[in-house]
Amino acid sequence: MHPNPKAHAPRYWLMKSEPDECSIDDALAAPGQTVPWTGVRNYQARNFMRDAMQVGDGVLFYHSSCPEPGIAGIARVASGVRPDSTQFDPASPYFDAKSSPGKPRWLLLDVQALRKTRLLTLAELRQHPHLAAMRVLQRGNRLSITPVEPGEWAVIGALLQAQS
């Protein structure tokens, strides 16, 4: 018997998506409301997917690089990891010449959108003391996938319920 290496992993995550590429509406409109989370090209984010994220984990679907950045919906992790095929496609902006199908460098997993929420803006997130430690709020943060503490998830759930 081996202990499950993911047994004590965080259960909640924030995942950034540029709405021009894939918005919460796009994800909800996809077959099975599920989209492959393509384009992660950062080792820390990749390692979260590979080593810590589990099917069923809660996801805050965050819109970034847009006029109003913020949390736009709730989703869940819907698969384990597999190679991200865009890394092998020279025509893709996510192409990586140093990767090969025999030794893929970049992974993805499926994310299933559950519902759209009101836009919980970055500015509003910053106003709440209980969320101050969130990675996405830290100065200079660029990581596209970050763990969310259960307490933070609960606070955000309450904010979304309070006024929607």
Partner DNA sequence: GCCAACGTTGGC
Residues that bind DNA (CB under 7 A): 16, 18, 41-44, 64-66, 69, 98, 122-123, 138-144
Q: Nearer Cβ to DNA, position 12 or 62?
A: 62
CB of 3 to DNA, least distance (A): 29
Q: Nearer Cβ to DNA, position 62 or 153?
A: 62
Q: Nearer Cβ to DNA, position 5 or 140?
A: 140
Q: Nearer Cβ to DNA, position 16 or 24?
A: 16
CB of 37 to DNA, least distance (A): 13
CB of 20 to DNA, least distance (A): 12
Check: CB of residue 73 under 8 Å from CB of residue 116.
yes
3-state secondary structure of 92: coil
CB of 30 to DNA, least distance (A): 21
Q: Nearer Cβ to DNA, position 2 or 118?
A: 118
Report d(CA 67, CA 57) in Å as an integer.
28
For residue 40, give the amino acid letter. Answer: V
CB of 126 to DNA, least distance (A): 7
Q: Which residue, chain included where needed, has tokens 């596209």?
A: 144
DSSP of 122-149: HHHHHT-GGGTT-GGGSTT---SEEEE-
3-state secondary structure of 94: coil
Kindly give the residue spans of alpha helices, DSSP state H, lying in the chain: 19-22, 24-29, 43-47, 122-126, 150-162
